[in-house]
Amino acid sequence: MAENDKNAQNTQIPTVIADTVDIVYRVNGTGGGRGSATAALNRILRRKQAEQAAGVRKVHAVKKVSFVAYRGEAIGLIGTNGSGKSTLLKAVAGLLPVENGRIYTDGQPSLLGVNAALMNDLTGERNVHLGGLAMGMSREQVRERYQEIVDFSGINEKGDFITLPMRTYSSGMAARLRFSIAAAKDHDVLLIDEALATGDRSFQKRSEARIRELRKHAGTVFLVSHNNKSIRDTCDRVLWLERGELRMDGPTDEVLKEYEAFTGDKAPKPKPKPKPAAKAPTPTPRPPNQPQTEPNDTKVPLPS
Amino acid sequence: MSQVLHTPPPTTSAPAKTGTGTDLRALAARHGLSVSGARPSLPEYVRQLWARRHFITAFATAKLTAQYSQAKLGQLWQVMNPLLNAAVYYFIFGVLLGTKHGVPDYVPFLVTGVFVWTFTQSSIMAGTRAISGNLGLVRALHFPRAALPISFALQQLQQLLFSMAALVVILLCFGVPVAASWLLAVPVLVLQFTFNAGVAMIMARMGARTPDIAQLMPFVLRTWMYVSGVMWSLDRVLADHRDLPSWVGPVLQANPAAVYIDLMRFALIDSFHANQLPTHVWLIATGWALLAGVGGFIYFWKAEETYGRG
């Protein structure tokens, strides 16, 4: 796969370059044992030295990850829970500062999602406007796309719900509206974090189609998912993160085979690439509690 | 299986692994990629912020409307809230403590003070939580973060405009004549808004780093309120206490809250005369606005790339 990438390098234009990236979270108030009030005071008085001593814990979420993504690629990010996938995605989007190393991007990568900008007390209609503006669309663009967004979400299929406050929506309806707003904009570099998991089946189908469409317009797509099937369907390259480290980087089939062996998920059965045949996004049951399965702690000495 | 798993990431992952960093950096430079999450230059930042102006206003209006959307009386609370507030202060300071003696048009005087002060107070309070209370938004979407404190200050300005409508009614009820000087309220509001937005940005940065400040601010703000002559005439109080050091008076009267409150009273109430204002009052008002507005903006921008960490 190394030569595969070398070829790519010659012919293609890089859009995202991660250069030995480290990401560290600092968590306040985990000081156990001693009275945490004094620990906090201690922390304030002697900033740096006291960090470890007084309740601030560092979580090294991503360790020395390097990769180059090229235009036209769709890259899947896989790994067990807590392996740093979403964190890495946020750093690529420039939303989380990196501790060491650099991430270079072409244009502004955007995370697919507007949940945080929406307000439950406002009507769906106003949320469409607010969400669109929050993503950086102009007022005219929002107005143009408005009908399209509402139709896509299917909120109005069962009556005029778009003029009701969002708090009155069922959780599925709200999720559909959120996805519809988020997917309304074209992006250079698109980052998707398990967005496919929302809504009922017919909506899932529509969202998959929409994501394929976005892919066509976008330079590069990153997809975080625990659903190996949707990774197979959408991605041609996969990065496998484990405990914050880049375990593998290569074509989807190769990496997924190893990953499935690692998680003990359908390991023995060598799975030939299930090409589109049945497009219905049957929600392949996500292997629950993956990290607890055997290989994780026992057999595999991770290079650290 | 274990073979592959033992493979250290370096060999499997992509092209430029040989010289750590330099190759990748060169590759990035060759294709003109920019560092993700880097702080834009100040002019660029201003440009980005301007491009998001519709988001800023929409966000402010949305927050304002969402505030009372569950209440039965709905948006009526926009006006009721400040009025009830003023009524409480009137009861305590006007009736019980008798501060109203010697202050002509005490009710308009008090209500103007309370409304104008509330604008500054809530802008600063909202600014303190602008980043720390909206981490979800900051971590999910890309926009110049200064949009948040500015948007919160704008929300408070909209709130104040509702209050001002109520204030006009009160003024007319208490027989304060309509005068051309009412137009002065507009420049006062512009200056005060600039000041508030600036302080909100300063507090937003501090609050983002140390969320505990939000706990402290109510006490600071209450102290500030009492020394700014919201419920009494600073002029009169100072006249009653001649034993105070001579610098206390000018300092109290030049503090931004007092300046904006007194200017607004001067604009709206005809029995509030220019001689109750400190000298060069417009200069002071503009100075505070520029100092806080420009200084706060630059101070906030300096930490732009760090918001959302944690």
Closest residue of chain A to B211, computed from CA coordinates:
A28
Domain count, chain A: 2
Q: Find the CATH number of the domain harbouring A77.
A: 3.40.50.300
Question: Does A289 score more than 70 pLDDT?
Answer: no
The pLDDT, as a whole number, for residue B152 is 95
Identify whether residues B21 and B130 lie together within a single domain: no
pLDDT > 70: what percent of chain A? Answer: 71
Does some domain include residue A301? no
Residues B194 and B287 in one domain: yes
Q: Considering the domain boundaries, does residue A303 fall inside one?
A: no
| Paired residues of A105 in beta bridges | A16, B34
The answer to whether residues B78 and B125 belong to one domain is yes
Which pLDDT score, from 0 to 100, does residue A44 have? 64
Start-end of H helices in A191-273: 201-217, 228-234, 252-263
* Overall average pLDDT of the A167-186 stretch: 83
**With an 8 Å Cβ cutoff, are B9 and A245 in contact?**
yes
Same structural domain for residues A213 and A85?
A: yes
pLDDT tens by residue, A111-120? 776 666 788 8
A283/A117: higher pLDDT: A117
User: CB-side exposure of B34: number of CA atoms within 13 Å?
Assistant: 11
Report the pLDDT value the prediction gives residue A171, as an integer from 0 to 100: 80
Q: Are residues B24 and B85 in the same domain?
A: no
Residue A121 counted as domain residue = yes
**B299 shares a domain with B218:** yes
User: Quick one: A20 and A62 in the same domain?
Assistant: yes
Token code pair at residue A140:
């005219």
Please tell me whether the interface predicted TM-score (ipTM) of this complex is above 0.90.
no
d(CA B309, CA A99): 10
Nearest CA in chain B to A247: B9
Count CA atoms closer than 13 A to A281's CA, side-chain side: 22
B216 touches chain A (CB under 8 A): no
In a domain, A300, yes or no: no
Local structure of residue B94 (DSSP, 8 states): I
Task: Examine the domain organization and report whether A101 and A134 are in the same domain.
Answer: no
pLDDT of residue A29: 63
A&B contacts, CB < 8 Å: 194
Average pLDDT, chain B: 84
Residue by residue, DSSP assigns A3-54 as: HHHHHHHHHS-EEEEEEEEEEEEEESS---SS-HHHHHHHHHHTTTTHHHHT
The last residue of one of the domains, among A186, A202, A235, is: A186
Q: Are residues A98 and A138 in the same domain?
A: no
Determine which of A169-173, B28-32, B306-310 has the lowest per-residue pLDDT on average. Answer: B306-310
In one-letter notation, the amino acid at residue A155 is I
Does any domain span residue A297? Answer: no
| φ and ψ at residue B179, rounded to 5 degrees | -140, 160
CB contact under 8 A, B5 and A101: no
Tell the residue number behind the tokens 């009556």, with chain if given. A159
A92 plus A108 within the same structural domain: yes
Shared-domain flag, residues A153 and A282: no
Q: Which two tokens stand for residue B147?
A: 């949009």
CB contact under 8 A, A139 and B7: no
- How far is it, in rounded angstroms, from Cα A121 to Cα B305? 31
Same domain, B28 and B73: no
DSSP per-residue codes, A125-194: HHHHHHHHHHTT--HHHHHHHHHHHHHHHTGGGGSS-TTSBGGGS-HHHHHHHHHHHHTTS--SEEEEES
Quick one: DSSP state of residue A123? Answer: B
In a domain, A215, yes or no: yes
User: pLDDT, tens digit, for every residue of B207-237?
Assistant: 998 888 999 999 999 999 988 888 888 877 7
Q: What is the pLDDT of residue A294?
A: 36
Q: Which domain holds residue A175?
A: 113-186
Cβ A23 vs Cβ A90: under 8 Å = no
Is there a contact between A14 and A106 (Cβ–Cβ < 8 Å)?
A: yes
Do A32 and A146 fall within a single domain?
no
Does residue A225 sit in the same domain as residue A93?
yes
Short-list A18, A229, A205, CA closest to A104: A18
Q: How many domains does chain B have?
A: 2
Which residue of chain A has the CA closest to B308? A96
Q: Which of residues 37-66 of B touch A (CB under 8 A)?
A: 37-38, 51-52, 54-55, 58-59, 62-63, 65-66
Tokens of A5: 């990438």
Amino acid B50: pLDDT: 93
pLDDT at A110 over 50: yes
Instruction: Please check the confidence at residue B5 and state whether its pLDDT lies above 80.
Output: no
Do A107 and A222 fall within a single domain?
yes
Same domain, A72 and A124: no
Residues B21 and B131 grouped into a single domain = no
Residues B8 and B115 in one domain: no
Residue A279, helix vs strand vs coil:
coil
Q: With contacts defined as CB-CB under 8 Å, which chain A residues touch B20?
A: 20
Q: Give the residue-averaged pLDDT of A150-178.
A: 84
Task: Judge whether A42 lies within some domain.
Answer: yes
* Same structural domain, B172 and B283: yes
Q: What is the pLDDT of residue A299?
A: 37
Question: Which of A186, A209, A229 is a domain's end point?
Answer: A186
Model confidence pLDDT, tens digit, residues A55-74: 677 888 888 888 888 888 88
Q: Answer yes or no: do B2 and B128 share one domain.
A: no
Pairing of strands A189-193, B34-35: unpaired
User: Shortest CA distance to A241 belongs to which of A88, A117, A46?
Assistant: A88
Same domain, B89 and B216: yes
Instruction: Determine the distance in angstroms separating the CA of A12 from the nearest CA of chain B, rounded to an integer.
Output: 11
Closest residue, chain A, to B69 (C-alpha)? A121
In a domain, A298, yes or no: no
| Enclosing domain of residue B62 | 41-306
Candidates A6, A65, A116; nearest CB to B140: A116
- Which pLDDT score is estimated for B56? 93
User: Is pLDDT at B299 greater than 70 in this prediction?
Assistant: yes
Domain boundary among A137, A161, A186: A186
> Which of B25, B55, B306 shows the shortest C-beta gap to A133?
B55
Q: Are residues B242 and B128 in the same domain?
A: yes
Tokens of A80: 């067990």
Determine which of A254-263, B51-60, B93-102, B146-155 has the lowest per-residue pLDDT on average: B93-102
Same domain for A221 and A72: yes
Smallest CA-to-CA distance from A261 within A237, A235, A240 is with A240
Kindly state whether residues A182 and A269 are assigned to the same domain.
no
